[in-house]
Amino acid sequence: MSPRWVPSKGAGGKGAGSEGREGAGSGDGDRLLAASPTARRLPGPRRRLLARHPLARFLLRRTATAVLLALGVTLVTFVLTNLVPGDPAAANLGQRAIGDPAIVAQFRHHYGLDKPLPVQYVTYLGNLLHGDLGESQQSHQSVLTDLSTAVPATLELAGAAIVVSLIVGVAFGVIAALRRDRFTDQLLRVVSLLGVSVPTFWLALLAFYVFFYRLGWAPGSGRLDPGMTAPPHVTGLYTVDAALAGQWPVFWSAVGHLALPALVLTAYTVGLLTRFTRSAVLEVLNQDYVRAARAKGLPGRTVLFQYVLRAALVPVITVAGLAFGALLSGTVLVESIFAWPGLGAYAYRSATTLDLPAVMGVGLVVGLVYLIVNLAVDVLYGVIDPRVRVQ
């Protein structure tokens, strides 16, 4: 679903989109909700009690939680990184430079390490308010710049993986449930179990070896052919950017390079989703309203999509959301094998070199991703299941 932008002032009660389930404005949050389906369907007496706009309040509360959690993330990463017995100066300066007190002092001063820890933390928070995540000691660039290339790289990978996983996983799960205990079900059970239990890094190595080295079907490592230049930066997703710029050779190269690592990641999530979809569908299949629908003589397809699948999707969405979050933050091994310059590789390098601003930047991004995914999942509940809306 696409977020609907709500005019910040004056559009209040009428609302821009009558079905605005996902508010993007923050200033006039209270007014936003007048048009939401939730509000409209509330029984009369309770309408005033819930201050008219439950979705807005929900979103506001979520935003407040998000800010608190982000604060917590920075505090925890800051404290933990400083507890590690090690000195960023020692990790970043050369053998000789570390022996020169003037150079060490210069380094500490440049990165603000010469100040007391509480002051460092407060300074960081102050800069954060201005959107400044600090300068990475590794790349000598602002962390924001580094993240603006690393995050889209991982997002492209994880996004492709989750889309394929959802389609394949849900399809497999439904088939398995409908063919319960028959051969197809047993086969899919084996497939999904394998997908869940095979170590992803090992599968990545194997896939790269077989499909790139042995068969030559997949292109080599990286995001593009070495001879190509990255498309102009719009979203940071090479496939999208190349398509926007109309650079079709680059687009195909990006898609080709994306396919193998994304499919490796898919193996795990497909297994997971198949298992969850299967059990969710089985549970719904025995419900009275499904039997009633069948008894009414509704076509099988209608029963499956409108009655069974819709109800079964709630737990599946939950798992998919979690899996997506895990994909974003847990692709480090796959990224390293495919030389994919994503968030995992960046996080690993930053952590091993005590690059505090970068570690905190990554922590913030991962925290935010989980928050956004959870929020999206919660909103989707309401879309899928009318019961949630009324509660």
Partner 1 sequence: MPRFSAGSYPVALPLVAVAALALSACSGGTSASGSSAGKTLVVDTSFNLKTADPGREFEPTGQIVDKALYETLLSFKGSDVTKPVPGLASSYEQSADGKTLTLHLRAGAKFADGSAVTADDVVFSLNRVIALKGNPSFLLDGVTVTKTDASTVTLVSKKANPALPFILPNPALGILSAKTVQAHGGSATATDGAEKYLNTTSAGSGPYTLTSFNTNTQVVLTKNPKYTGSDKPTYDKIVLRNVQAPTQKLNVQRGDSQIALDLTSDQVTGLSGGLKVDSGASSDVIFLLLNRNTKVSSTTANAKFAEAVRKGIDYKSLLSLAGTGSVQPAGVIPSTFLGALPASEAAGRDLAGAKAALTASGIAKPSVTLGYASDLTVDGLSLQTLAERVQAQLKEVGITVTLAPAPTTTELDNYRNGKEQLGLWYWGPDYPDPSDYLTFLPGNLVGLRADWKAGADPTLTALGDKAATTIGDDTRKTLYEQIQTRMNASGPFIPLMQPSRNTVSAASVTGVAYNPVWTIDVAALGAK
In the region spanning residues 47 to 86, those forming contacts with partner 1, defined by CB under 8 A, are 84-86
Q: Which stretch binds partner 1 (CB under 8 A): 67-75, 254-262, 282-290, 362-370?
A: 254-262
The DSSP annotation for 48-69 comes to: HHTTT-HHHHHHHHHHHHHHHH
Q: Which is nearer to partner 1, 275 or 389 (CB)?
A: 275
Dihedral sign for Cα 248, 252, 253, 258, please.
positive
Dihedral sign for Cα 91, 94, 100, 106, please.
negative
Q: Which is nearer to partner 1, 87 or 385 (CB)?
A: 87
Q: Which is nearer to partner 1, 60 or 243 (CB)?
A: 243
Distance CA 29, CA 10 (A): 12
- State yes or no: residue 2 binds partner 1 (CB under 8 A): no
Axis crossing angle, helix 248-285 with helix 143-178, rounded to the nearest 10: 40
| Distance in Å, CB of 322 to partner 1, minimum | 8
Q: Which of residues 185-204 bind partner 1 (CB under 8 A)?
A: 191, 193-200, 203
- State yes or no: residue 98 binds partner 1 (CB under 8 A): yes
Phi, psi of 262 (to 5 degrees): -65, -40
- Burial status of residue 239 (CB atoms within 10 A of its CB: 0-12, 13-18, 19 or more): buried
- State yes or no: residue 139 binds partner 1 (CB under 8 A): yes
Q: Pick from 25, 152, 173, 219: which binds partner 1 (CB under 8 A)?
A: 219
Q: Which is nearer to partner 1, 91 or 244 (CB)?
A: 91
| Distance in Å, CB of 250 to partner 1, minimum | 10
- State yes or no: residue 353 binds partner 1 (CB under 8 A): yes
- State yes or no: residue 96 binds partner 1 (CB under 8 A): yes
Beta bridge partners of 142: 135
Q: Which is nearer to partner 1, 144 or 168 (CB)?
A: 168
Q: Which is nearer to partner 1, 202 or 289 (CB)?
A: 202
The site for partner 1, by CB under 8 A, has a size of 92
| Distance in Å, CB of 388 to partner 1, minimum | 25
Q: How many CB atoms lie within 10 A of CB 2?
A: 7
Q: Pick from 336, 368, 376, 388: which binds partner 1 (CB under 8 A)?
A: 336
- State yes or no: residue 132 binds partner 1 (CB under 8 A): no
Q: Which is nearer to partner 1, 15 or 195 (CB)?
A: 195
- State yes or no: residue 345 binds partner 1 (CB under 8 A): yes
Q: Which stretch binds partner 1 (CB under 8 A): 10-18, 34-42, 258-266, 364-372?
A: 258-266
Q: Which is nearer to partner 1, 285 or 337 (CB)?
A: 337
Q: How many CB atoms lie within 10 A of CB 278?
A: 27
Give residues with Cβ within 8 angstroms of 207, minimum separation 6. 218, 260, 263, 264
> For residue 66, what are its two tokens?
């998000």
Q: Pick from 123, 125, 209, 300: which binds partner 1 (CB under 8 A)?
A: 209
Q: How many CB atoms lie within 10 A of CB 45?
A: 7
| Distance in Å, CB of 39 to partner 1, minimum | 37
Q: Which residues of 368-386 are buried (b: 16+ CB within 10 A; e: fewer)?
A: ebbbebbbebbbbbbbbbe
Q: Which of residues 159-188 bind partner 1 (CB under 8 A)?
A: 168
| Distance in Å, CB of 196 to partner 1, minimum | 6
Distance CA 184, CA 213 (A): 33
Distance CA 369, CA 362 (A): 10
- State yes or no: residue 259 binds partner 1 (CB under 8 A): yes
| Distance in Å, CB of 116 to partner 1, minimum | 20
- Burial status of residue 43 (CB atoms within 10 A of its CB: 0-12, 13-18, 19 or more): exposed
Q: Pick from 149, 279, 318, 374: which binds partner 1 (CB under 8 A)?
A: 149
Taking every pair of Cα atoms in the chain, the longest distance, rounded to a whole number of angstroms, is 85
Q: Pick from 30, 256, 282, 376: which binds partner 1 (CB under 8 A)?
A: 256
Q: Pick from 220, 244, 318, 376: which binds partner 1 (CB under 8 A)?
A: 220
Q: How many CB atoms lie within 10 A of CB 195?
A: 24
What is the residue whose two structure tokens read 């603006």?
Answer: 148
Q: Pick from 30, 114, 132, 225: which binds partner 1 (CB under 8 A)?
A: 225
The three-state DSSP-derived secondary structure of 202-232 is HHHHHHHHHHHHHCCCCCCCCCCCCCCCCCC
